[in-house]
Amino acid sequence: MTLESPVRTDWTRDEIAQLFDLPFTELVFRAAEVHRANHPANQVQRSTLLSIKTGGCPEDCGYCSQSASADTGLKATKLMDPRAVLQAAAQAKDHGSTRFCMGAAWRNPKDRDMPAIVEMVKGVRAMGMETCMTLGMLTDAQAKTLADAGLDYYNHNIDTSPERYGEVITTRSFEERLETLEHVREAGINVCCGGIVGMGETRGDRVGFIHALATLPVHPGSVPVNALVPVKGTVLGDMLADTPLAKIDDIEFVRTVAVARITMPRSMVRLSAGRESMSDATQALCFLAGANSIFTGDKLLTAGNAGDDKDAALFARLGITPMAAECKVELEAAE
């Protein structure tokens, strides 16, 4: 790939596997070149994620503490009052976040919930922040309602490779994930889509995961890369907590970030869950490899996060400038 090449959505698995197999420094160097050709150097976007409805989800995602089938002691809550959500958004803005993401532990939203969701979206946008929602599967009509409200991004992760997916989740198919993404795109909302590594998958699965994202009709505007946080009482948490597979090797994690950057050059690549346990050096390598977005704050939905003060100190050490607003670059589909 040359830096002048158009954005590609025709990547093959072999090409992606070859990127993973490059010598580490060569891979990171190539990713850094692609990053600087498409994004401001040394700038990182800060986003905040709030759980607006916690627990009681009927899905059986093996990694999730909010699944009703998980035995984590997490108590289910009702949908938050929009006023409380907007107060949290204002606090996030005061702490430097430019995007406010709201997540609800649902298989799919009910139509009766949409007026409150719309109020939240409009209220956050009125503050001058970008908005993102993750509410589970959407119908075409619900996606259009969110678009009419002005929603900027909708998050719906594919989680892992198509082949590995059924070992992680059985209550929703991979194809249903793609269907919701199609509804979101057709409604004119930007897609936020990534997944989780460190769930006991092989490198081949990570190749398949990146391939599934990089061959979507349009690359996601944001690609969150999560490292599994094993939670006791979840299927994967109990299975992996006491094994070496519970934490993906730092070098392999950076490789995954670098390959995501090369194959999806204009997307925002976000370090998401698992960052609180990463060393400063590992995060610095991720930024060098093209990550340019993080979640700030002390909590991501129900999991811990690094925290604003720690992030500010890291940015100062690395000479990173918080991004004032996301670079708006239209993603191109392959002709």
Give catalytic residues, as residue numbers. Answer: 57, 61, 64, 101, 132, 192, 270
Q: Which one, of 192, 104, 99, 109, lies nearest residue 145 by Cα?
A: 109
For 102, residues 6+ apart whose C-beta sits below 8 A from its C-beta are: 49, 50, 52, 85, 120, 124, 131, 132, 133, 134
**Cβ-contact 228, 274 below 8 angstroms:** yes
Amino acid at 100: F
For 183, the token pair is: 């509804």
Q: CA-CA distance, 220 to 172, in Å (whole number)?
A: 21
The first and second tokens of residue 67, run together, are: 């699944």
- CA 302/CA 289 separation, integer angstroms: 28
The residue written with tokens 């919701």 in the block is 180
CB atoms within 10 A of CB 68: 14
CB-based burial, 270-297: b 16+ in 10 Å, e otherwise:
bbbbbbbebeeebbbbbbbbbbbbbbbb
Strand partners, 48: 100, 296
d(CA 275, CA 143): 31
Could you tell me the CA-to-CA distances from 302 to 50, 53, 131, 240, 263 in Å, in that order?
A: 9, 11, 20, 19, 31
